[in-house]
Homo-oligomer: A and B are copies of this chain.
Amino acid sequence: MFYTDYKLQFPVRVESPNPLFAKALQQAIGGVEGEIRVAMQYMFQAWGVRGDNKYREMLLNTGAEELGHIEMLATAVALNLENAPLGLQEDVSGDPVGGAILNGMNLKHILSSGLAAMPVDASGVPFDMSHIYASGNIAGDMYANVTAEATGRTLAVRLYNMTDDPGMKEMLSFLIARDTMHQNQWLAVIEELGGVSQQVPVPNSFPQDQENQEYSYVYLGFAQDGAEPPRGRWTEGTSIDGKGTFSLRPMEPQGREPDLGTARPGSGAQEKQIEG
C-alpha cells in the first residue's frame, strides 16, 4: 500500500522557463531511460519476489522513491512551460511561417496537456510498459536495473549539460547522485548474493553440463574472409564467471541450408509453391 505527503522529495525551481527544455525533460519521464520505467520496474520486480522477502521491501522502497522522481520532473516540465506561447500570435519570434519557440516545442504540451507533463519521451512518443523488465530471476533483474540506472544517469548528465538554468542544474545534480547510489545498490545485491562468480551465468540454477560446453566460452568470429576476430579480454584468460577459459575461433556453419519443402494445399500459398 502506498502513501503520499504531497511534497517534493527535493526542491524544483526554474529561473528561466524554456519550453524546449520541457520537451527534453520528457525523456527523463517517459523515455526508455526514464523514471516511469524504473518506478514500475522496481515495483513489478518486488511484487514477484520469490526467495528472501527483504528484496521485496528494498525494491518497494526504491520504487516509491522513483515515483517521487517522476513527480519532480513533471513539476519541472510544467514550470518550464510557463510563458510558453499558445499560438503564433504570442510567439516572440514573430515568424510568419511558424514561430521559433513553437518550432522547437512539443506541440502536445499546448494541445493535449495544457502546459503540463505527459508520459511521453522527448519526441512525444508514449512510454510502453514492455520496457518493465521483471524476469523472476533476481540476478537478471539486477542487471536490468543497473542498465536502467546507467542509461538514466547518462541521460540526466546530458540534460545537466544541456541547460544553464541554476534551478534545473540543482535538481539534476540531485537526480544524478541518486542514480549513482542506485547503480551501486543493484551491484551490491549481486555482491551480497555471492558476486559475479556465483551469479553468472544467469540463471545459475541451470546445470552447465546440460549446455553445449564446446561453445560456452569461445568468442566466435564471423569475418567474411574467415579472419580471426578482434582480440580482447573476452578472448583469453579465465572467463569472468571463473568457470571456463576464453578462447576464440572463426565460426563455421554446423548446419545445412534448411529446406521446408513444399507448401500444403489449402495453406494459402501460390500453386507453384505447392507443386514444388
Contacts and interface: CB of A to CB of B under 8 A. Distances in A.
Contacts of A180: 201, 208, 211, 216-217, 241, 244
B269 A50 contact: yes
Given A241-B183, A254-B8, A3 B222 contact: yes
A121 B147 contact: no
Interface in A55-78: 56-58, 60-65, 67-68, 70-72, 74-75, 78
Contact of A31 (B57, B87, B111): B111
A135 B123 contact: no
A154 B202 contact: yes
Given A3-B3, A164-B89, A44 B253 contact: no
A50 B150 CA distance: 18
Given A100-B98, A224-B4, A184 B241 contact: yes
Given A1-B9, A211-B176, A270-B193, A61 B254 contact: no
Contacts of A19: 97-98
Interface in A88-140: 88-89, 92, 95-108, 110-140
Given A88-B164, A103-B100, A181 B61 contact: no
Contacts of A205: 265, 268-271, 274
A201 B48 CA distance: 28
A242 to B, nearest CB: 10
Nearest to A225: B5
A31 B136 CA distance: 16
A8 B256 contact: yes
A150 B135 CA distance: 10
Contacts of A4: 1-3, 60-61, 63-64, 222-224
Contacts of A12: 255, 258
Contacts of A71: 1-2, 43, 47
A203 B270 contact: yes
Contacts of A176: 206, 210-212
A79 to B, nearest CB: 8
27 contacts: A1-B8, A2-B3, A2-B64, A2-B67, A7-B257, A9-B254, A20-B98, A44-B118, A50-B116, A54-B230, A56-B257, A61-B229, A79-B260, A114-B154, A114-B263, A114-B268, A128-B128, A128-B130, A136-B263, A137-B273, A143-B147, A170-B212, A174-B215, A177-B212, A188-B232, A189-B233, A203-B268
